[in-house]
Amino acid sequence: MNNITKTLLFFISFIIVPPGFCTDFYNRNEGDYIIKNFRFNDGNTVKNLKIHYVTLGNPKGKPVLILHGTTGDGNSMLNDSFGHALFDKGKPLDAEKYFIILPDAIGTGKSSKPSDELKGNFPHYDYGDMVNAQYQLLKNGLGINHLELIIGNSMGGMNTWLWITKYPDYMTAAIPMAATPAPMSSRNWIMRKMLINSIKEDPDWNNGFYTKQPEKFQTVYHYYDIATNGGDIAWQNKAYNTAKTEEILSDKLKERVSMDANDFLYQWDAARNFDPTQDLTKIKAFILVINSEDDERNPPNTGVMQKALKDIVAAKYYLIPASNKTSGHSTTMNANFWIEELKIFLKEIETYY
């Protein structure tokens, strides 16, 4: 961390956020790191790959990496129930004591993505590419040689599983959430594949070189969101009869998605080869796994998580009980459900060292 200021000056296009924009986070900044000749796992190369990021807090504090979910970005983690619950003064990861890094993964936010220029010619990145770029940002861009903690949610949780298996000595601890360290398969992949195929079958798709956004994208987006988010109990409580259900559906279908179809498709497809199972024994970090009992994409009753935990030396598993307050796969984005577990985990790490 000693050379971070020097590194920022030489390697980063550093941008101070204008006053009034999220200024309630301590020492909030944004920047871009350009990776020259980045080679993707599909064999393609991008001459200048841009990785955008947000930082909060004390540059001399313990570094913490926060990884967002699909269709999100670093800023999406800075809401009341996650960012403020964790990073505000007096909170478990108080930004005055920690240095928080929130990158936009490849293909998301302000990082390089298909809609920037290449469209259907953009390399078909995967989660391994995302993690590789994040590592280069931290190591070469920000001069960080070791992380105190990684927290990732959903796609970010799967990225976290890759981080702790690919770079096992790089972090002290990690918290993968709403993610299972198993092959992308079963209903989770079937739903994603149906979503991807529906967009590709749209007459306007044109192999990703469309002149107007494929209309099917609007419907399949809402279909996937309803099918894999929300939680059974919460859905039953709000859609308690046919009339109310149809009212909710009608309102939902009126919402227009502003996201680019290529960007959307690429992000979901990036999970196609996710499978860290063979490398779980390499993990050296302290692990706190957090999932929700009503997670539609990672159902705990399959026993997949319990089986994986047997291969990890220092892992704890916290399963949030389903209730009328949880929201299925989205539950973990509300830190209030697991913040006490985080406090205990951080104290245990501190005691160990």
Q: Which of 52, 68, 124, 329 is catalytic?
A: 329
The answer to whether 295 is a known catalytic residue is: yes
Angle made by CA atoms 109, 110, 114, in degrees to the nearest 5: 80
Helix (H) or strand (E) holding 308: helix 304-309
The residue ranges of DSSP E strands in the chain, in sequence order, are: 12-16, 29-39, 45-57, 62-67, 98-103, 147-153, 171-177, 286-292, 315-320
The residue with tokens 């590789």 is: 132
* Cα distance between residue 261 and residue 196, in whole Å: 10
- The per-residue DSSP string of 144-211 comes to ---EEEEEEETHHHHHHHHHHHHSTTSEEEEEEES--SS-S-HHHHHHHHHHHHHHHTSTT-GGG--S
Catalytic residue among 76, 154, 198, 330: 154
Length of the chain as a residue count: 353
- Residue 80 annotated in active site: no
Q: Which of 73, 126, 263, 295 is catalytic?
A: 295
Reading the block at residue 338, the tokens are: 């697991």
User: Which of 301, 283, 285 is CA-nearest to residue 293?
Assistant: 301
Q: Give the C-alpha separation, 75 to 61, whole Å.
A: 20
Cα–Cα dist 145/241, whole Å: 55
Q: Is 292 a catalytic residue?
A: no
Spatial distance between the Cα atoms of 43 and 102, rounded to a whole number of angstroms: 27
What is the enclosing helix (H) or strand (E) of 135?
helix 127-136
Which residues does the annotation mark as catalytic? 154, 295, 329
